[in-house]
Structure 1
Amino acid sequence: MSEKSQVLNCNDLTGGWTSAGVAILNTVRFLKEDYDLPQVMGYTGFAFRININAADVDVAGPTAFDWESIFERGLANLGIKATTVRTKDFVAPTPEELKQAIAMVQDSIDQGVPAISWDMHVPEFGNIYGYDDQKQAFMAKDPAGDQPLPYEKLGRGQVNEMFVATVQDSFEIDRKSQLKNALEMAIEHARYREHQHELPPYENGLKGYDAWIEAFEKGQVSEFGNAYNIHVVQDARRVAAKFFDWLKVEWKDDERISNLCYDAQEKYNEVANHLEELIELYPFPQGGEPNKPQNAQITIDKLQLAKEAEFQAVNKLEELLEEVK
């Protein structure tokens, strides 16, 4: 390995509750600067995700998914061809895997584009935007901060699992294909279970609300995990509403599509409003008292209302998809 260094100008890296969506934006904007967070999270599907552990609403829910396929598919819908490398089952990378990942990251930065990685300072997604061979360290930012990351710590963070995604190429994609693909991703997530195994008992999409309610009915809710999930899902639905607010103008030349986008915007705002009422009850990171019977009943009522609004939102997405097709 040659002794070299490279640092990209990332002073204005974006922040937000869905670290995967934020990390994608912070990479994509070096290639396609017109995108903002609602567009990125909408087109990649992250604005519509919900994934809840029915046992206790654990903190891992928002990041417990098939990273490779979701990132690659989502980035492709932004006109980005990506390559990913990952170690699974909480196994740290071998020396050869680490060497491959370091080379991928350095090549991406040399090309002027930050890499996306996992669990650098905390088990969340973030960006690697620089490296220094002499110091054997990356410059890395995630929700826990912006600080050096020793090469040897890549994939050896709090959970011993390596994931790196880098851009290989960019291409043009038309708005009809983008909208169609985004709607298909959102509907699939809402209607079908993504997980191959019964345990942990994760449920995504509309059934995610049922799993959430189940945990509250059992009185076994994680204070920290529940508060985190509420903030992530509520923020994502607000972003989804902003995405459709933008789309209704983007498609103003097609009255039917524009009107359906307006309807979807209204429904996702309704979901966000119901969940927002729980944020004060369950502040992050303190968590509040989710297993207190009075709080549990309030939460169950709000989650049922949020699920009904999201059910209606998904119906609008299906109408939109038929119209776009």
Structure 2
Amino acid sequence: MSQQLSCENYNSSWTSAATALLSACRYYKPELTMIEFMGYSGHAFRININADDVDVAGPTGYDWESFFRKGLSNLGFTCRAIRTVNFTPPSPQELTDAMSLIQNSIDKGIPAICWDMFIPEFGNIYGYDDDKKEFMAKDPGGNGTLPYEKLGRGQINELFVMSVEDTNEMDKSKQLKGALELAIDHAYQRVHEDHLPPYENGIKGYDAWIQAFQKQQVSDFGNAYNVAVVHDARRFAAKFFSKLAQEWDEEMENGETIKNLAFEASKFYDKVVTQLELLVNMYPFPDGGNPNHSKQAQQTIEILGKAKQAEEHAVQTLENMLYELK
């Protein structure tokens, strides 16, 4: 899992997918910041909680390819991906195709994005050696060599590789519109086709979190990880809109209104961060604290309720901003 990050650090994120994707995107746009990437790609607005126990898989339990593709398109990028389904290792043909995608990307100087190399997180493959039949790879669990045959056969036995293929310049209004649509859709639309496990995303993610604490069956480790990831994401959401409020051109259509709404959204996300920071202190990663203690559970339920309320106001502000852009 990700290492503890300073609350003032906006160069790194607990969201390993965003870190890995940004590493590839910077080949085309070296000036792209983590703040911009987290906002425009939608990662700053994610929350995904298992209502049974707040398990550790929440932050990575969704359709990666679809979400990544939409987020990358907001920044003008196109991509290619290969993935196996239902936790199955790759067939010989899938492994060959994945290796070809990775090597072609590296040959162009662009690291590939890969899942579950040293631990079940996202990272980058940045080199390969055909003689030794191994990749050079890095994720939150390590930085070293990965034998070719281990691709898609990590702890989860699931293959996912992606390459960033090309980029186009994007109109600022179109970029922001896409980011807002992605954030609002995540807030209101359940992305999971199956009812079990009982994952909920967006606003209902807070309800699922509260349900788990009401049952006092919360995973110490999983809860601490979700707290760290969501808190970190909302820090980026607040910073993203704060910078947008400072930098948006008032001369653009409805420019002053967009700036004011961005400032308002930043303040609401700051309120979410304030509440979640209380949980970061109560449930430090990886120790996890004691989430199933009745007094702590009740306190957490109250904190999550306040965070949810602030997030609802933030999303309503994003809807107002999207209306002005349209």
* TM-score grouping bracket, smaller chain normalisation: over 0.9
Q: Does 1:183 align with 2:184?
A: no
Residue in 2 aligned with 1:85? Answer: 82
Q: What displacement does 1:268 show?
A: 0.7
Q: Could you say what secondary structure the match of 1:231 adopts?
A: helix
Residue in 1 aligned with 2:296? Answer: 295
Q: Is the 8 A contact 1:15 1:143 kept in 2?
A: no
Residue in 2 aligned with 1:281? Answer: 282
Q: Does 1:117 align with 2:114?
A: yes
Q: Distance in 2 between matches of 1:279 and 1:261?
A: 26
Q: Could you say what secondary structure the match of 2:82 adopts?
A: strand
Q: What displacement does 1:304 show?
A: 0.2
Output the TM-score relative to the length of structure 1: 0.95
Residue in 2 aligned with 1:236? Answer: 233
Q: Could you say what secondary structure the match of 2:308 adopts?
A: helix
Alignment gaps of 5+ in structure 1: 1-13
Q: What displacement does 1:249 show?
A: 2.1
Q: Could you say what secondary structure the match of 1:280 adopts?
A: helix
Gap change, CA 1:272 and 1:256, over 3 Å in 2: same
Residue in 2 aligned with 1:324? Answer: 325
Residue in 1 aligned with 2:256? Answer: 255
Residue in 2 aligned with 1:5? Answer: none
Q: Is the 8 A contact 2:12 2:34 kept in 1?
A: no
Q: Which of 41, 63, 69 does residue 44 from structure 1 map onto? A: 41
Q: What displacement does 1:34 show?
A: 1.6
Q: What displacement does 1:252 show?
A: 3.8
Q: What displacement does 1:321 show?
A: 0.2
Amino acid at match of 2:243: W
Q: Is the 8 A contact 1:138 1:151 kept in 2?
A: yes
Q: What displacement does 1:250 show?
A: 2.4
Residue in 2 aligned with 1:56? Answer: 53
Amino acid at match of 1:271: V
Q: Does 1:155 align with 2:147?
A: no
Q: What displacement does 1:33 show?
A: 1.2
Q: Which moved more, 1:54-63 or 1:166-175?
A: 166-175
Q: Which of 116, 132, 135 does residue 135 from structure 1 map onto? A: 132
Q: Could you say what secondary structure the match of 1:240 adopts?
A: helix
Q: Could you say what secondary structure the match of 1:42 adopts?
A: helix
Q: Could you say what secondary structure the match of 2:164 adopts?
A: strand
Amino acid at match of 1:156: R
Q: Percent identity, please.
A: 58
Residue in 2 aligned with 1:265? Answer: 266
Q: Is the 8 A contact 2:106 2:127 kept in 1?
A: yes
Q: Could you say what secondary structure the match of 2:31 adopts?
A: coil
Q: Distance in 1 between matches of 2:155 and 2:13?
A: 21
Residue in 2 aligned with 1:34? Answer: 31
Amino acid at match of 2:134: A
Q: Is the 8 A contact 1:189 1:205 kept in 2?
A: yes
Q: What displacement does 1:124 show?
A: 0.6
Amino acid at match of 2:275: H
Q: What displacement does 1:248 show?
A: 1.0
Structure 1 residue runs of 4+, over 2 Å off? Answer: none
Q: Distance in 1 between matches of 2:223 and 2:283?
A: 8
Q: Distance in 2 between matches of 1:20 and 1:79?
A: 18
Q: Is the 8 A contact 1:19 1:124 kept in 2?
A: yes
